[in-house]
Structure 1
Amino acid sequence: MQANELRDMSRDENGSDASTLPELSKVISVSWREIQVMVKKQHSARPRAILSDISGIARPGEMMALMGPSGCGKTTLLNTLAQRQAGSIVGQVCINGREQPRSVHRAVSAYVEQEDTLIGSLTTQETLRFAADFSISRSLSKHDLVARVRDLLNEFGLQKQARTLVGTPFRKGLSGGQKRRVSVAAQLIGNPSILYLDEPTSGLDSTASHEIMLFIKRFAKQHNLVVIASIHQPSTKTFDLFDQVTLLSQGKMCYSGSRRDMPNYFAELDLEIPPMMNPAEYLLDLVNIDFAYREEAQARLDYITTQWASSALHRKLIADVLDSTSSSSDKAIHLSPGSSTRPGIRKQLFTLLRRSFIKSYRDIVTYWIRLVMYLGLAIMMGTVWLRLTTTQKHIQPFANAIFFGSAFMSFMAVAYVPAFLEDRAIFIKERANGLYGPTVFLLTNFIIGIPYLFLISTLFSVVAYWLGNFNPNAHSFFMWVLWLFLDLLAAESLVVLVASLIPNFVGALAITAFANGLWMSVGGFLVPLPVLNVFWKYAFHYWDYQTYVFQGMMVNEFSDRTYDCTVVNGQCHCMYASALQDQCKIAGTAVLEQYGYAVGKQGQWLGIMVAIILGYRLTGWVVTVLRKT
């Protein structure tokens, strides 16, 4: 069956339904031939070779180790095999002897990242269940899904930790080895035929490393799974679990074949592995040129790579790769036209919404700490501007309080940066695995935030509004809540945009804080609009969301209130001239005129706020679509 008969799974990111994507019934081999990967140097027009003429073959039921010193290209090779590598790639990566589109690779394989990007506020069982919901089509019954989760918990020795939280900085959960087992089990939930592992023992002690690889070894044997893992300096026990080894250095092959044949091969090169020594450690030292006398080490490495290129084992490897390609007609992949692998975009959205909702109410960092922060701000504001009165001496304090409340509510939204970056890191991993795209991720992020931001706005207002004695009627109160809610929604949307552009905690925090400081400066309070510099007025003021929040709240407060002027020695002194001056009062509209705010434009301002929020979100979506990391 030709590749064009499959829909590329990358279309899922644009919203197409992947539920009819066929799946591979049986993987007989994964082979690669003469792989060469080039990347551009930062300060040079000439590209640099990361991998040069790499060939190999992996079969079901076996585990292959990709080994080599740091920077040798093992992770690049792993990503190339998994169809994840960027840059200029030459060569063939075949499944069952044929090059396949990315959709097939994703349908039959799973990839476990070096870092565990698990959601700490989910239990082990929930983690696997959500992985199943993302990975498996709706054709599988709920009973079968539960059984599959239960079986994986048992096979990976996690049944006692089924209801244990993965763990957050505030709540202890699984150990490092258990988290790694959960990461692997979550990728195996969809019954892949190929498992790629990037440094699966990273950060674990030798006992935990052996335990992880032993679980994977047993699973691979039992389910006839192809396992290809990049691994760094395994212990002897862990190294002995691998069936095949590919040894790289400086992007070149030093050996590829059976682990059992390695000692004899290197002995024939007069590089015999010393008895009672970890063979993996010895071989890594042998091909490492970073920490030895460079000329001697480079000469030794050149000798090893040259001998490998002319060896009988290398010729046999190439023959096996060519044989798998030439006989592909006999080992053809069989596609089931009616079967499905990934759920459609609707199920992706509902699954992510359920998972995000659980995370949002269990993880205190996402919204609950912010809620406490905002309540503290409300108490401070309400007690500083306590029981203001309708006299002209309190007109400016009322305006100051409105500015403080609206500006600092949005400024404190920078506290959302770490939570969004955490969610984004999980999205990047799951997007690379083809689970869902930017549309589902950002739509879920927007929907989940709405009730919490509304709750924050309401609780803040209940405290600050009535302590400060703002306009005492229900309509004005709820309009105040609405403006604060839109203020927070716009501020959080700005965080999403900035953190999508600069996915770095310090960078995103700094830029978001700077942007909010700019909005405060040009919003129309610190420098009223009639005297604001023309450049700042037209360059930033009109698309500053704090502008519309502040003037909307000012109109809400002053449009229908009156204030008593000061009487000194029987003479009435009014700060603002108005039609009520002969009554020794000031109409609130006179205050609004000083700021250049017209009454009756609240609907227009609300519309502009919605447009700004959507503009931030859509721009963030475009950035997320274009960025892959």
Structure 2
Amino acid sequence: MRTAVELGLAFIFLGCWKGAHGLPWWCASKHWLGRESSTKSATAPRVRGSITSGWPRRRPLSVQFNDVTLCIGKKPILQRVCGSCRPGELMAIMGPSSSGKTTLLNTISGRLRPTSGTITIAGEPLNKRHKRQICYVLQDDIFYANLTLRQTLMYTALLRLPDSMSHQDKMSLVDHIIHLLDLQRCQYTNIGEVMHRGLSGGEKKRANIACELLTNPSIMLLDEPTSGLDSSTAHSLILTLKQFAEKEHKTVIVTLHQPSSQIFYMLDRLLLLCNGQNAYFGETKKVIEHFSNLGLPIAPHYNPADFILEQAKGSPEVQERLILGAREGLGLNFNMQDSVKLQTSPSMNSLYSKYLGLPTVHTSDRSTNPYPRDSNCTSCLNRCQEYSKRCPTDASVPTDVNKKTSEIYSEMVDGAEEDSGRSSWSEETVSEASGCSSMCEDYPNMQWPTSFFTQFKILTRRNFCVARPIILSWLNGTQTLILALIAGLLWYQAPRTEESLQDLQGWMFFSANYWMLFILFAALQSFPAEREVIAKERASGSYRVSAYYLAKMVGELPLTFILPTLYFIISYTMMGWDNPATGLMLLFMLLLSTLVAQSVGLLIGAVCYDLQTGITVAAIFTLFTQLFGGYLATRIPPWLSWARYLSIVHYAYQNMNIIQFTYGLEIRCSTMNSRFNSCVEYSQSDSGTHYIPVDEILQERGEPLSLWANSTLLIGFMIVVRLLTYVTLRYLHRPK
């Protein structure tokens, strides 16, 4: 017994010990990782071609979107938005709040389907294959808070880079990305959260970008990368993105809210949105000239970014001037509604006669206009090329606006979980004019970047390292030790007599109930805490849901057993250990009931998005299962007797009674006023010592099922609940 206690305490000590660089020994050990983690200097040389051997290279890809319209219900969010960006360019989407910047970015990435219009990648309609070459950096920095920056990048590389790359090459790539984004000094710092400081805001932004750069995307989409950063950090971040676009020949599109003048002039292209429509698209250096031609000159020494945003938020007349001016610059005609508006508004007619000369261009010479004024949808890509002089010559495939859903997205509906990055880093580039056949050869039709086994193995390690400091926190450990000592003292060396029978049953009922509550509410908070991270990774197609769910169960399994085992060893030893077989069987039943409770907590956490709702549902369930557990109430009305079979405590408590009183020490009858018939009969016959039959003890709490029946029902209940949890994760909460 002493040896078992010492081994348990030693394992707890090892669980709390951290190795080099603050990593737990099982996370840092080369035996646990399977291979020795790379510990190269952050100033490692640039990744060589050996890393990409055997894996296709990324081609530079351009992005064009033409007449993109998106309506949610009857409300238009985007209206005929046009634009394009070439490899090596940094394009910004700007506009006031609620102007559609993030919506447009979601549409370009394929996460939202436009009502009409076309989005082409290198001249091809956007499809699932292109999503492998697009990375999307969200505005919020979503990470596991208790992992270090290097651990985060390491697990991302192991999950999203192909199995054909060696472990050493993947770790070398991590070193290269850390060096590229200047993250050497903070690579062993925890990500952190509000209550536990870790990385700074700028470091989190760069870490967010680093996770996406690992897949070597051809197109980078970043939503508000400078939000929450000071001007110096924001400038450094945008400069890094610009240099990355130029040196690596990538297409980078960002949304910006209110950049400084330094950041503004670093942009190659600018798309200004106003009420979901083009207010300007073209070279950034020409925006001031364009606004001056519209009669909106900028004052000297004024930030041009602030100026154009103020105009986009100006009066309705100014907004109309910007929208029509942008259409004129792009060579777009006006639809029938625009024509009626101009004809019925004298003030607006005079306004645009002064600044744009619209009557002579669009009304007096209709015969020369190739696009009739009442057309519902026109192709503007060729006009965009004439305006910017920098668009590639890829042809765009128009979409019929009479169809509510664009045909180019019909192929993407069933692929919401496709991977957005499945290639390794490559310094070499291939000409964009290589065509579709080359693209198909370079990017084979792989559904996942890694195999199921690889995903399961890596996710098991990560879930173990994520859950360890939460489950084995010093607070939980202290709570368990104190409670075990209190329980041991309360039932210290309880005699095996009829007078102490209720005390023995009280310990069993309390132990089963306490660990049901502890594990259930801990599991309840597990999915809500991880939901954003999992949704982000699922949207990028990093792994299968089944691999994540199985890895979560397996990775947390040993951690779930440690604290209940420690409590049992301390409290049951102090109460009086009968024999090793009885103790091990009781421990097994306690651990089985905790697994069932954990299953229920996971299901409630997966179904209930709102944590407060989940806590309420969990409280009702736990109170229900306690009331019908068989200890607090034995005389249950017949019309409620069915409820006990839904109580997990009922089965666990029955089995613990069966084990304790069948295989443990016998319970002596009371010498006076015994409540058991057999003891009364024995006391009348002679004065010897008699023991209570096991059947009478068990039947006092109702008609029990057998030990194997109770265990089978508990295991079946656990399997069904866990399958329901998987179905909920897989189908109910799919990322959009």
1:326-366 deviation digits (Å, cap 9, x = unpaired)? 599874352336866711222111111122223233x3467
Three-state SS of the structure 2 residue aligned to 1:64 is strand
Partner Cα separation in structure 1 for residue 221 and residue 105 of structure 2: 7
Residue 263 and residue 443 in structure 1: after superposition, are their counterparts in 2 closer, same or farther (change >3 A)?
A: same
Aligned residue type for 1:448: G
Aligned residue type for 2:292: A
- Residue matched to 1:30: 63
> CA offset at residue 487 of structure 1?
1.7
Find out whether 1:101 has 2:101 as its counterpart: no
Equivalent residues of 1:152, 1:189 under 8 A apart: yes
Q: Which runs of 5+ in 2 are unaligned?
A: 1-53, 333-379, 386-390, 398-431, 684-689
Partner Cα separation in structure 2 for residue 364 and residue 624 of structure 1: 22
Partner Cα separation in structure 1 for residue 513 and residue 583 of structure 2: 18
> CA offset at residue 108 of structure 1?
0.6
Equivalent residues of 2:480, 2:567 under 8 A apart: yes
Matches within 5 A, 1:431-510: 431-469=538-576, 472-510=578-616
Aligned residue type for 1:486: L
Equivalent of 2:224, from 199, 205, 214? 199
Find out whether 1:81 has 2:108 as its counterpart: yes
Equivalent of 2:149, from 104, 124, 127? 124
Partner Cα separation in structure 1 for residue 586 and residue 601 of structure 2: 23
Equivalent residues of 2:525, 2:605 under 8 A apart: no
Find out whether 1:546 has 2:579 as its counterpart: no
1:91-114 deviation digits (Å, cap 9, x = unpaired)? 222111111322x13311111111
Three-state SS of the structure 2 residue aligned to 1:563 is coil
Partner Cα separation in structure 1 for residue 283 and residue 99 of structure 2: 20
CA RMSD of aligned residues (A): 2.7
Partner Cα separation in structure 2 for residue 492 and residue 88 of structure 1: 42
Matches within 5 A, 1:242-253: 242-253=267-278
Q: Give the alignment's TM-score, normalised by structure 2.
A: 0.74
- Residue matched to 1:617: 722
Residue 316 and residue 395 in structure 1: after superposition, are their counterparts in 2 closer, same or farther (change >3 A)?
A: closer
Find out whether 1:143 has 2:171 as its counterpart: no
> CA offset at residue 63 of structure 1?
1.3
Partner Cα separation in structure 2 for residue 280 and residue 338 of structure 1: 39
Partner Cα separation in structure 1 for residue 237 and residue 134 of structure 2: 19
Find out whether 1:352 has 2:370 as its counterpart: no
Residue 298 and residue 602 in structure 1: after superposition, are their counterparts in 2 closer, same or farther (change >3 A)?
A: farther
Partner Cα separation in structure 1 for residue 382 and residue 488 of structure 2: 77
Partner Cα separation in structure 1 for residue 442 and residue 95 of structure 2: 41
> CA offset at residue 160 of structure 1?
2.6
Find out whether 1:181 has 2:181 as its counterpart: no
Find out whether 1:524 has 2:549 as its counterpart: no
1:399-426 deviation digits (Å, cap 9, x = unpaired)? 2222211112111221344443233321
Partner Cα separation in structure 2 for residue 70 and residue 537 of structure 1: 59
Residue 65 and residue 319 in structure 1: after superposition, are their counterparts in 2 closer, same or farther (change >3 A)?
A: closer
- Residue matched to 2:117: 91
Aligned residue type for 2:317: A
Equivalent of 1:307, from 325, 348, 354? 325
Matches within 5 A, 1:327-406: 331-332=435-436, 334-336=439-441, 342-361=449-468, 363-364=469-470, 369-406=475-512
> CA offset at residue 191 of structure 1?
0.8
Partner Cα separation in structure 2 for residue 249 and residue 532 of structure 1: 68
Residue 402 and residue 267 in structure 1: after superposition, are their counterparts in 2 closer, same or farther (change >3 A)?
A: same
Three-state SS of the structure 2 residue aligned to 1:578 is helix
- Residue matched to 1:563: 667
Three-state SS of the structure 1 residue aligned to 2:667 is strand
Higher mean displacement: 265-274 or 540-549: 540-549
Find out whether 1:219 has 2:244 as its counterpart: yes
- Residue matched to 1:606: 711
Equivalent residues of 1:23, 1:335 under 8 A apart: no
Three-state SS of the structure 1 residue aligned to 2:677 is coil
Aligned residue type for 2:101: K
- Residue matched to 1:14: none
> CA offset at residue 78 of structure 1?
0.8
- Residue matched to 1:573: 673
Partner Cα separation in structure 2 for residue 273 and residue 23 of structure 1: 48
- Residue matched to 2:26: none
- Residue matched to 2:22: none
Equivalent residues of 1:106, 1:434 under 8 A apart: no
Partner Cα separation in structure 2 for residue 35 and residue 144 of structure 1: 41
Partner Cα separation in structure 2 for residue 306 and residue 168 of structure 1: 46
Matches within 5 A, 1:229-308: 229-288=254-313, 297-308=315-326
Partner Cα separation in structure 1 for residue 109 and residue 218 of structure 2: 12
Residue 288 and residue 377 in structure 1: after superposition, are their counterparts in 2 closer, same or farther (change >3 A)?
A: farther
Residue 532 and residue 205 in structure 1: after superposition, are their counterparts in 2 closer, same or farther (change >3 A)?
A: farther
Find out whether 1:582 has 2:682 as its counterpart: yes
Partner Cα separation in structure 1 for residue 646 and residue 262 of structure 2: 63
- Residue matched to 1:421: 528
Identity across the alignment (%): 26
Residue 169 and residue 402 in structure 1: after superposition, are their counterparts in 2 closer, same or farther (change >3 A)?
A: farther
Matches within 5 A, 1:33-44: 33-40=66-73
> CA offset at residue 585 of structure 1?
4.1
1:463-492 deviation digits (Å, cap 9, x = unpaired)? 1212233x6121221122111111221222
Aligned residue type for 1:455: I
Three-state SS of the structure 2 residue aligned to 1:240 is helix
Matched residue pairs, number? 584
Aligned residue type for 1:180: K
Partner Cα separation in structure 1 for residue 531 and residue 248 of structure 2: 33
Aligned residue type for 1:604: A
Equivalent residues of 2:57, 2:442 under 8 A apart: no
- Residue matched to 2:537: 430
Partner Cα separation in structure 2 for residue 68 and residue 57 of structure 1: 17
Residue 506 and residue 236 in structure 1: after superposition, are their counterparts in 2 closer, same or farther (change >3 A)?
A: farther
Partner Cα separation in structure 2 for residue 23 and residue 495 of structure 1: 44
1:236-268 deviation digits (Å, cap 9, x = unpaired)? 222222211212232222122211111111111
Residue 338 and residue 24 in structure 1: after superposition, are their counterparts in 2 closer, same or farther (change >3 A)?
A: closer
Residue 598 and residue 506 in structure 1: after superposition, are their counterparts in 2 closer, same or farther (change >3 A)?
A: closer
Q: Which runs of 5+ in 1 are unaligned?
A: 1-20, 41-46, 290-296
> CA offset at residue 446 of structure 1?
0.4
> CA offset at residue 507 of structure 1?
2.7
- Residue matched to 2:417: none
